[in-house]
Every structure is written in structure tokens, then in C-alpha cells.
Amino acid sequence: MKITSAEFVMSNSDVAKCPKNFIPEYAFIGRSNVGKSSLINMLTNRKSLAKTSGRPGKTQLINHFIINNSWYLVDLPGYGYARVSKSSKKTFQKFITNYFEQRKQLVSGFVLVDIRHQPQHIDLEFMQYLGENGIPFGIIFTKADKLKPNAITRHVDEYCKVLLETWEKLPPYFITSSTKKIGQEEVLNFIEATNEEIEELRNQ
């Protein structure tokens, strides 16, 4: 898929205030600093459409970006990081779970995981939560530039092995690097194919 336009629409912490139009939406979630915002910039070929930072906790709100005037990418705050006040130190912030449970336009979430690390409890827990709520998701391995090719394969295989201990079937997964622009086509093609399926269903 070719990106012809990518624009910021709005930020907020209330799912009820998210854009009202009914177009397909894809949301990025994962631990703080895993590279959610960087991935949005990489996918859209923009340097700073989504704000990134070396310090975790940069993205604090639900951010909508409209792509090619026809679908949304959503940048979300990270979980598992508590610079925020103690009262909001819950594992998954309520407005994030509200977003996943209530946002009807959401077609698929993408759980981002750092390819260098062993499966982390919090990520597996979030995938479990999505599964229990019937929310489709894919996995995006980030920062692939930090590993050599054989280590990439090894880490992904190990990750899949752990997933298959609790999941019957693997979700779609993608290997990416925002700095080296790896995986752009694969992720965009997946979104494009999914958008086409939705369009066909609508026309039936």
C-alpha cells in the first residue's frame, strides 16, 4: 500500500470523544518505549507525525491519525511504566481498556514487543486480555536492527513457542525496525488486505 496522506486528527483520554466516523482503525499498544510512536512514523514515512522519546511515558493519550483519508492508525500510551501518579499506577490504565472494549471501529490491535527480550509477563497478559474480550490482534516485533539475522529468527521462534503453550493458533506477526525501515511493506499490506476484506463484507 502506498501512503498518500497521513494527518494527526485528535488526542484524548475518553473513548467516547474519539472520532465518530466509521472507518477501519488499527491501534498500537505495548510497553512504554517499545517503539509504538516510532513505528507510526516509519509506516507513514513521516519523521515526527507521532511524538517519540528516549524516555518512557512519552505518549499519554489516545492519538488518532488518518491515513489516505480512509482509515485510522492509533497511537496509545505504553503500559507497564508508572511515572504517572500512584493512583493511576494500575497495570492497564482504565481509559486504555475502555478504548479496547468500546471502540467499535477497532479492526485489530497490534501488540508491540521488543524483539531482544524474552516474552514478558505483562505482554502475554495483555494478549490474554484481548483474547478474552474477542479483540483481534497481531504482534509486531520491534527494534530488529538491534539483532543479527540468526538471532532474530531464534528470538521469534522462542516467542512463538511460548505463545503456543497457551494459544491454539499464532496471531499474525511482523518483524520490524523503525530505524532501518524493516517490515513496513508487510504491516501495510496486512492492513490493506484487511481493509479490502471489510469493504467486501460491507458491499455484500
Q: Which residues here bind ligand GTP, judged by CB under 6 A?
A: 32-38, 52-54, 56-59, 77-78, 142-143, 145-146, 177-179
> Three cell numbers at 149?
539475522
- The partner in contact with residue 105, picked from Mg ion, ligand GTP, none with C-beta cut-offs of 5 to 8 angstroms by kind, is none
Residues in the chain: 204
Q: Which of 46/146 has CB closer to ligand GTP?
A: 146
Q: Which of 35/171 has CB closer to ligand GTP?
A: 35
Computed from CA positions of residues 44, 41, 85, 110, in that sequence, does the dihedral angle turn out positive or negative? positive
- Residue 186, sorted as left (phi over 0), alpha (psi -120 to 50) or beta, turns out to be alpha
Rg (C-alpha) for the chain, rounded Å, is: 16
- The partner in contact with residue 34, picked from Mg ion, ligand GTP, none with C-beta cut-offs of 5 to 8 angstroms by kind, is ligand GTP
Measured from the CB of residue 65, what is the shortest distance to ligand GTP in angstroms? 13
Measured from the CB of residue 34, what is the shortest distance to ligand GTP in angstroms? 4
- The partner in contact with residue 171, picked from Mg ion, ligand GTP, none with C-beta cut-offs of 5 to 8 angstroms by kind, is none
Q: Which of 31/103 has CB closer to Mg ion?
A: 31
Q: Which of 63/195 has CB closer to Mg ion?
A: 63
Amino acid identity for residue 186 in this structure? E
Q: Which of 120/167 has CB closer to ligand GTP?
A: 120
Measured from the CB of residue 11, what is the shortest distance to ligand GTP in angstroms? 12
Q: In which residue are the cell numbers 497495570 written?
A: 91
Q: Which of 52/108 has CB closer to ligand GTP?
A: 52
Residue ranges in contact with Mg ion by CB under 5 A: 36-37, 58-59
- The partner in contact with residue 77, picked from Mg ion, ligand GTP, none with C-beta cut-offs of 5 to 8 angstroms by kind, is ligand GTP
CB atoms within 10 A of CB 37: 23
Measured from the CB of residue 59, what is the shortest distance to Mg ion in angstroms? 3
Q: Side-chain half-sphere of 108: how many Cα atoms within 13 Å?
A: 21
Cβ atoms 25, 72 nearer than 8 A: yes
Angle between helices 149-166 and 121-132 (to 10 degrees): 50
CB atoms within 10 A of CB 147: 18
Residue closest to ligand GTP (Cβ): 78
